[in-house]
Amino acid sequence: TTSKILVITTATGRATGLARDTPLPGVFSPARRLTNGSLRTPVSNKRKLTVKLASTETYDIGKAVQTQVKSPPCNLYIGNNFCVRIYDFFDLQNSIQNNKKGGLVHIDFDPAVHFKAMTLSEGAEKIWSVPNAGGNSVISEVLTFETFHRCFHAELLRTEMEVSYFPEGGSITDYVCDIFGTKVGVSVTRAMKYRGEYTEEDATNLLTKKLKGVNQANRNTLERWNKQILHVWVQNKEAANLVTRAWQDLPPDLVTNTMVVVSRTRRSNFIFYNS
């Protein structure tokens, strides 16, 4: 028997539900859309479900016909810890595998539970437990790897203190992993402001500082990775747009081939305040 999938989205693509008219055991159960627009989907034996959403598709579910919804195409990851909406998945994959190409993509990150209740992969557990170079951003680094591991099958190669540099004393990367068969250095940052409104100038200063550090780490590392990802956590779509506009105005010699991934979050204060 064949079964059809109903894709439910809002006009902005923020809330997505999945329902199946003939459920398949062990794959996924019907989703429930909540009034606040978030998605809660029980998953049994399989933790991952990836669906390509196309803004021009029409889905025929029995007698009901769901016509196109004006939302951008994306891929979904639905897991026990969080759900992720990935925009421009193939651009991301191509940019990571192409050493001469950089770029910027957006991701939506929606946690299902608090960080303390999450079941982490072996790589994420290692990043969480081993000593690092200091700072209060370990949760953001752990969840960056966990997101990349669940969505892109990333495998951890080196933690922050396992990476060697010459000369020492400069900027360093947060960890090294394999994504899509490519050895990648990953640097993690958070676009936030403790007091006042976050501005495009703040975003420009953050990206300039972090990308200078990425380029220095690329020159000095002894690990010989092929490229770096700069993962930027933001608290809302306004901050994501500010980061995007700031990135577009940066000089090419600063951006180089770095892939910038901007993750918009919901209910994720533990990422920004490490609590």
DSSP codes joined into one string, the chain: ----EEEEE-TTS--EEEEESSPPTTT----EE-TTS-EE----S------EE-TT--EEETTEEE-------EEEEE-SSEEEEEESHHHHHHHHH-TT--EEEEEEEEESS-GGG----HHHHHHHHS--SS-S-HHHHHHHHHHHHHHH--EEEEEGGG--BSS-SS---SEEEEETTEEEEEEEEEE--SSS---HHHHHHHHHHHHHHHHHHHHHBSS--SEEEEEEEESSHHHHHHHHHHHHTS-HHHHTTPEEEEEEESS-HHHHH--
Domain boundaries defined on the chain: 5-78, 86-273
Per-residue pLDDT for 80 more than 60? yes
- pTM > 0.95: no
Mean of the pLDDT values across residues 188-217? 95
Kindly tell me if the per-residue pLDDT of 56 is higher than 50.
Answer: no
| pLDDT score for 126 | 97
Residue-wise pLDDT for 129-163, tens only, equals 998 776 678 999 999 999 999 999 999 999 999 99
Q: How confident is the model at residue 118 (pLDDT cuts 50, 70, 90)?
A: very high
